[in-house]
Amino acid sequence: MKVFVVGLNHKIADVDVREKLAFQGDKLEEGLIRFRELPGIEEAMIISTCNRVELYANIQDTQQASESVKSFLSAFHNINRSSLDNSLYVYDDIHAVRHVFRVAASLDSMVLGEPQILGQLKDAFELALAKKTTGILLNKLMKKAISVAKRVRTETKIAENAVSISFAAVELAKKIFTDLSSRVFMLLGAGEMAELAAKHLIGNGVKEVLVSNRTFDRACDLAKEFHGRPVKFDEFILEMVRTDIMICSTGAPHYILTKSQMQKVMKERKQRQVFIIDISVPRNIDPAINDLENVYLYNVDDLQGVVATNMFERQKEAEKAERIIAEELETFLKWQASLDSVPTIIALREKAEEIRKEELDKLFNKIQDMGEKEKEAIEYMATAIMNKLIHPPTAALKGDVENKEMLVAAIRRLYGINGEKNDE
């Protein structure tokens, strides 16, 4: 009984390869059931996201499972089998458990510390539970992986620093304006990065949104999407008097907001703070504006610098997360090792109980006139003796000892326990 992982992710496979192996829609449920039915697969679970496809299992033989799963993936997705050998990683036992813990804690993600993967892992586990494809090992593994991820979130700051341009914009806005809900935001232009930053700002509390674009119809469409108000492009400077946060991405070949224009705006604003992000390349906002009091201007390079700094901070926190995983890995492996002893412990207790009852029956048949109180006292004593005799071997089997297989074999031979019990 050991954990087994076969899969691929963004590190080793391009998106076109990941798409071919993805389990989408109804294919996920069908694939999960067929995966569980493979020879040598005792428990099964599949996680399929845009950045990874991984199959988790409880197995006995790694080579058999590896061949079986690769053949299954080839047939299920109609992919040449030989092409999979260079695209898949295979982990088993301790390496598989560590990998699952790192995935759950987002240490294996494209964006270190991102929170989405834990939710995706939970969804995959819930489907496996619903389809009854997991059992004692994978159930414990998933519950432990989820608790490991939560511990990493609680005990480190791995998710606290923005590592994308759009999130960095929000992070900076929060440093300037503690409460975003009372701020007026303007989106000037319509670049993909700017729109994403706008969505994050709105998601973080901004309620009043203005949208200005050279094409007014486009401004109207975006304003409708963001529940805001469209502004004609030649009137955006007038609206700057009310605007606290602006993201600019117009693609114009020259400055569309100069220092002198911004001076007039700040005078009418009575010097209230303004946060401006110029994502345009070439820049659309005069850099000299940053010299004005209470005006905070950032360009795309500034944001990338923030992202780089934050990524470095996340890397430092990832080292703490790895130590947490090492601790939890040891705990899980001790629990897993104890599973190998469970059938022997059960068999030992059954053997002892059998002997106890047999000897008591002999005694009570021999002494016919024994009273109930005497019988109860003798039964109590026999049970106490039995428990004390089997306690040392039971404790040894439960303990963290080397060569547990040899210990199991020795106890079975010494106590005359034949056959194997299997009680999860």
CATH code: domain 2-155 is 3.30.460.30
In contact, 79 and 13? CB cutoff 8 Å = no
Structure tokens given for 118: 């834990």
In contact, 203 and 178? CB cutoff 8 Å = no
Instruction: Return the number of other C-beta atoms located less than 10 Å from residue 424's C-beta.
Output: 10
pLDDT at 34: 97
By C-alpha distance, which of 214, 278, 215 is closest to 248?
Answer: 278
Give the residue carrying structure tokens 């798409």.
19
Question: In the chain, which segments carry CATH 3.30.460.30?
Answer: 2-155
In contact, 72 and 64? CB cutoff 8 Å = no
pLDDT at 162: 54
Question: In the chain, which segments carry CATH 3.40.50.720?
Answer: 165-306
Alpha carbon separation from 356 to 70, 350, 363, 384 (Å, rounded): 52, 10, 11, 10
Q: How confident is the model at residue 340 (pLDDT cuts 50, 70, 90)?
A: low
Q: How confident is the model at residue 424 (pLDDT cuts 50, 70, 90)?
A: very low
pLDDT of residue 372 exceeding 70, the answer is yes
The C-alpha angle 157, 159, 164, rounded to 5 degrees, equals 130
Task: Tell me 164's DSSP state.
Answer: S
**161-171 pLDDT per residue, tens:** 656 677 788 88
Please name the helix (run of DSSP H) or strand (run of DSSP E) that holds residue 17, with its range, or none: helix 15-21
> Got the DSSP string for 363-391?
HHHH-TT--HHHHHHHHHHHHHHHHHHHH
**224-264 pLDDT per residue, tens:** 999 999 999 999 999 999 999 999 988 788 999 999 999 99
Instruction: Tell me which of 38-52, 167-181, 290-304 is least confident.
Output: 167-181
Report the alpha-carbon distance of residue 27 to residue 68 in Å, rounded.
19
Three-class SS of residue 270?
Answer: coil
Structure tokens given for 122: 């939970």
**32-51 pLDDT per residue, tens:** 999 999 999 999 999 999 88
pLDDT at 74: 94
Residue 220 known to be catalytic: no
Q: How confident is the model at residue 421 (pLDDT cuts 50, 70, 90)?
A: very low
Say how many residues make up the chain: 424
**106-118 pLDDT per residue, tens:** 999 877 888 889 9
Give pTM, 2 decimals. Answer: 0.64
Report the alpha-carbon distance of residue 195 to residue 201 in Å, rounded.
10
Give the residue carrying structure tokens 């002892």.
352
Q: Regarding the domain delimited by 165-306, which CATH topology (the fold level of the hierarchy) does it fall under?
A: Rossmann fold (3.40.50)
pLDDT at 422: 42
Mean pLDDT of the chain: 89
Select which of 33, 50, 389, 406 is catalytic: 50
Give the residue carrying structure tokens 């609680």.
154
Could you tell me which residues come within 8 angstroms of residue 332 by beta carbon, excluding any fewer than 6 positions away?
Answer: 97, 140, 141, 144
Report the alpha-carbon distance of residue 19 to residue 15 in Å, rounded.
6
